[in-house]
Structure 1
Amino acid sequence: MSSILTGGRLGVLIFALRSALFFTPLPALLRDDAQLSSTLTSYTRLKEGVYLFRNGFDPYAGGVFRQVGLLVYHALMFIAQCSANYVVPVDGLAAWCLVQIWRIRSNTRNVAQEGLIVTVYLLHPYLLLPTLALSTSTLDNALLILGLYFAAYGKPSPALLILAILACMSPPFALLLPPIILLLMGSPVSSLARPISPQIDYRRMYRLTAEFLLYFSVLTLISSFVAGGWSWTYKTWGAVILLPDLTPNPGLWWYFFTEMFDDFRPFFLMVFSVHLLIYVAPISIKLRHDPLFASFILQGIISTFKSYPTLADPGLFTAMFAIFPEIVLHLRHPLPTVMLHVHAALLLPLFHYLWIVQGTGNANFFYASTLVFGLANAAAIVDALRAGLRIGFGEKPGHELIQR
């Protein structure tokens, strides 16, 4: 009992410290940082869109506002009114859901591990700084964790509805549908050490897919009704694929298409967009014995290769390592991966400052740091995937993985 109370007090203390940071000058300094808020998640752009809408103007008429209509005109208008107040309970809910996912996955309760999960999520710099900047990527992460929570506990309708909302906000997250459906049909308990593929009920799979498509279609129709047309789809979902705004961010797209000749732009936009699709089937099939781990790996891939990422995207992936402690001992290169992230975390703000503020650098400086950041994320994904597969092998010479 004393350990539970101690863990609860630690969580309350961390939560209070995070909340206190909103009353410092830090949020105002971070609000428009390109590494923390993208074109699709900027709080400043959100306020601009809400202001235009309230004054009778179409916020999608220009090129500034690109958030999805459903969320903006309803939920996010409330966010704009409440300012920083919304992110405090959102992050707390996400941390609580991660603890619940860990409990059902491990089929146990470990106060020390649960305290580590809460601490890592609430104090992770990649997650804390975008939260202070009021980036709506914090809401994306919370919705994803909440959807995984409902899926892990076998509640298909809430899980699919939340995934549909998330896909409306950020279409790349729709790629998580296959592992989440597998999770709804399977078990969230860790099966990495026993990689025996379950029997798949294809009829139920089709029903769950149809339910997701129904939710997504209804949300799309509601958004179009409120927005007064379909133009919002081009400005929001189209921006994810067509990359109309080349504002620098920690991703791998912006500089490449800044230098791209217009004649070749459509082809490479297609290549970059389709590139994400090629991972879905192999990851979902290979890791169908542990769909929660498959969701974890796919989220990391999406966060690395999406068109408008922020630090919050790989931040969620690295924070979720805490609910997969069984893979930590099997990581092959954890120290180089951590050092790459530290290196990138130092270079990104430094080179951005030298380029934008001081004027002593150029775009190549900042893009070099984003390449280091992308390499760090890729190294973490590959190492995590290898560790998850390695658990299934015996430790003695001559033992091999048997999967059926």
Structure 2
Amino acid sequence: MTKDKRNYQTCSSPWVKCIYGRLAFLCLAAAAIRYWLIFFSKYQSLIADHIEVSTPLNAWKRVKEGLYLFSIGINPYYGDMLHETPTSLFFYQFITESLGLSTGHIFIIFDIITATFLFLVTRQYMFMVYIEREENKSSYSKNIEEYLYTNENFRRAPLYVAATFLFNPYTILNCVGFTTTVFFNFFLSVFLYLLLSRKFFLCSLFLAFCTSMSFYSIILVVPMCLHAYKQFNGNFRAIFSMISFLVNFLVIMFIGHLLDKTDSFLENVYGFIITVPDLKPNIGLFWYFFTEMFDHFRELFIYSFQINATILYLIPLALKFHNDVFLLITALLYISTIFKSYPCVGDVGLVLSLLPCYKHLFNYSQQQFLILVIYIISFCLGPIVWHLWIYSNSANANFYFGVTLAFAVAQIFLVTDILFVHIKREFCLYFGKKSRIGGKEAILVLE
């Protein structure tokens, strides 16, 4: 064990003694809430059918129908019903048949495991931040203690992340609604843990799984390569991680070809994500715009929207935040969640659960109250406006899109606020709060 590792554990030793006990208590409490909503309440079917929770890409009803068609020898990709890859379908069949548990129990177990991995991810990230603080402390400016991570941040952040995931209304609805986003979040959390643990081959394997399930995850290849380059001070590991990802992804696609035999899943899964043929309302921005768009402009704006959701922000963010890969990943996940074609509350819930990693930035956030208010209002108004529009016929699509647009604006404000405050904090660490304006001393204040 290195000296830095011993020092890190020593600074948190009073907390380490009971941290896993507290995590177990949180997991049991969260599992009890999910268990009651699934097995004892009347809301499970209502939640599962709601458009904020289920989309054409993640609805469990479609998976069950696909598994049934597959079992009787009918290709489930004929038609427009199933949008899961054959490997994902095989995985769902394996876990439902081999575990011998009901669907509700399986979803609860995977949600709890995901929270545990996020807890471990945060511990790894906090250790990396601790090492960076100790190595660079001598180069920091004077009187900047308020901008540093404290030992309390190191100790409490993992539990805060786990608690945010376990008791977040978005992740609870995602689990209770039986969406395959639960499994995607599991694979993504394992990818993050392996990435920060520097196990790049396994990391690339799980990223390939994530990309096969949600094509937008391919943008995480860049932070994976950046982290490999930073950790091993060379191009070899970065190139190796890239090649490993490509090989693993091609193997997954080949297995899908063997299971499907017709390759029709490519159009039904990735073609469906890219071309957005189903314009049923969701919490994203695609459906309303392309409902109103003239058909002869459709391809132009499809390309524009998809570029916006993938590579448009990737290069500038990677250049600016290459030294903090986890922050880069958080920003990219937020952006893909906002601009992807079929988002759901499960995607939002995962990225929100990463926020306690940056708790030290909250005091300098400029828009946190506004963001919180918009989140609460949009969360409450969304189902109400949907009911008024569809069932009461006393509203129209503009009402619901107004709510989803406000929700997207809140997410944009949130990610930009975190990134700007992080940049200001980095400046203060090395140059201090004091500066000169017009030859006179001034103080740079993070507000």
Task: Output the TM-score relative to the length of structure 1.
Answer: 0.91
Once the two structures are superposed, the pairs formed by residues 57-76 of structure 1 within 5 Å of their partners are 57-72=74-89, 74-76=90-92
Contact 2:26 2:166 in 1 (8 A): no
Which amino acid letter does the alignment assign opposite residue 325 of structure 2? P
Q: What does residue 271 of structure 2 align with? A: 238
1:103 corresponding residue in structure 2: 123
Match among 211, 215, 230 for residue 167 of structure 1: 211
Question: Within 5 Å, which residues of 2 pair with 1:105-124?
Answer: 105-107=125-127, 112-124=156-168
Correspondence 1:352 to 2:396: no
The 5 A counterparts of 1:4-83 are: 5-24=21-40, 25-72=42-89, 74-78=90-94, 82-83=102-103
Letter in 2 for 1:23: F
- Identify which of 249, 267, 273 aligns with 2:300: 267
The answer to whether the 8 A contact 2:23-2:162 is kept is no
Deviation of 1:328 after TM superposition, in Å, equals 2.0
**Aligned partners of 2:59 and 2:160: how far apart in 1?**
30
Task: Give, in whole Å, the separation in 1 of the partners of 2:18 and 2:119.
Answer: 19
Mean CA deviation greater in 9-18 or 139-148: 9-18
Say which SS state the counterpart of residue 251 (structure 2) adopts.
Answer: helix
One-letter identity of the residue aligned with 1:169: M
Work out which of the residue numbers 72, 89, 92 in structure 1 matches 2:112.
92
Number of residue pairs the alignment of both structures matches: 389
Deviation at 1:148, TM superposition (A): 0.5
Q: Provide closer, same or farther for how the CA distance between residues 65 and 5 of structure 1 changes in structure 2, counting only shifts above 3 A.
A: closer
Any idea what the Cα deviations from partners look like across 1:324-369, whole Å, max 9, x if unmatched?
2232223221110111111111121111111122222221111111
Displacement of 1:11 in angstroms is 3.5
Q: Does the CA contact (< 8 Å) of 2:225 and 2:239 recur in 1?
A: no
2:96 and 2:366 map into 1 onto residues whose CA distance is 44
Among residues 237, 249, 258, which one is paired with 1:225 in the alignment?
Answer: 258
Pick aligned residue for 1:376 from 410, 413, 426? 410
Distance, in Å, in 2 between the alignment partners of 1:60 and 1:257 is 24
The answer to which of 388-397 and 168-177 deviates more is 388-397
Rounded to whole Å, the distance in 2 between the matches of 1:11 and 1:49 is 32
SS of residue matched to 1:293: helix
Distance 2:69 2:155 in 1: 48
- 1:185 Cα deviation from its structure 2 partner: 3.6
Query: Which residue identity is paired with 2:283?
Result: P
1:78 Cα offset (Å): 3.6
- Which amino acid in structure 1 is aligned with residue 49 of structure 2? D
Taking structure 2 as the reference length, the TM-score comes to 0.83
Counterparts of 2:86 and 2:18 in 1: how far apart (Å)? 48
Displacement of 1:323:
2.2
RMSD of aligned alpha carbons: 2.1
Letter in 1 for 2:365: L
| Structure 1 residue 91, shift from structure 2 partner | 1.3
Distance between the aligned counterparts of 1:4 and 1:142, measured in 2?
Answer: 20
* Deviations 1:1-24, CA, capped at 9 Å, x for gaps: 457545543432333332332212
Q: Structure 2: how far apart are the matches of 1:31 and 1:298?
A: 27
Q: Which residue of 2 aligns with 1:129?
A: 173
1:106 partner amino acid = M
Unaligned 5+ segments in structure 1 are 188-198
Residue in 2 that maps onto 1:194:
none
Asked whether 1:301 is paired with 2:335, we answer: yes
Gaps of 5+ in 2: 1-16, 131-150, 437-442
Residue equivalent to 1:191: none
Q: Secondary structure at the match of 2:295?
A: coil
Q: Hey, what does 2:12 align to over in structure 1?
A: none
Counterpart-to-counterpart distance in 2, 1:2 and 1:229: 54
1:320 corresponds to: 354
